[in-house]
């Protein structure tokens, strides 16, 4: 009976040590998952848009909000897609989308979206367009622009 009790205590201690080891390993794995995930905070890309020159975009990712900044020719960063009645930004994982509705682009009105991907650097715009003063119903499909982009 004594041998059985000592064996039982030994086995119980061994199980407790094993559980502590497993708990520690799970804690380390959980904490390391935060360190391994890619961070898109303050990523900058340079895009060469055909007919538009070079544009520099900065993804400013905060804890509770994200925004994309655009570098103007004078060197200042400004909001790339300020939220208004006619345009609305949205964000995905490393991606920014600006929805346009009746926004003036050069000498025409456009309805569509511009997508900037900071993971695989790219800039794309798809839209419908119409002459100034016309409505969406009178617009034509087929407006597309793309750019070659790279990380800075």
Give the DSSP letter string of 78-94. EESS---SSEEEEEETT
Distance of alpha carbon 107 from alpha carbon 75, whole angstroms: 26
Angle at 149 between CA 38 and CA 49, to 5 degrees: 145
Higher-scoring residue by pLDDT: 92, 112 = 112
Check if the beta carbon of residue 113 is closer than 8 Å to that of residue 105: no
Q: pTM here?
A: 0.66
Beta bridge partners of 124: 115, 146
DSSP 136: G
Helices (H), the chain: 2-36
pLDDT in the model for residue 38: 46
> What is the average per-residue pLDDT within 14-21?
86
């Amino acid at each position: 009976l004594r041998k059985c009790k000592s064996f039982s205590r030994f086995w119980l201690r061994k199980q407790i040590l094993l559980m502590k080891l497993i708990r520690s390993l799970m804690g380390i794995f959980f904490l390391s998952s935060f360190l391994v995930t890619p961070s898109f905070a303050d990523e900058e890309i340079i895009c060469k848009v055909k007919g538009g020159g070079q544009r520099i975009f900065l993804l400013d990712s905060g804890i509770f909000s994200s925004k994309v900044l655009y570098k103007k020719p004078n060197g200042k960063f400004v909001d790339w897609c300020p939220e208004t009645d006619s345009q609305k930004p949205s964000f995905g994982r490393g991606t920014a989308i600006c929805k346009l509705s009746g926004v003036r682009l050069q000498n025409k009105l456009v309805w569509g979206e511009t997508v900037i991907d900071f993971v695989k650097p790219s800039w794309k715009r798809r839209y419908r367009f119409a002459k100034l003063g016309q409505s969406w119903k009178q617009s034509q499909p087929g407006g597309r622009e793309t750019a070659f982009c790279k990380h800075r």
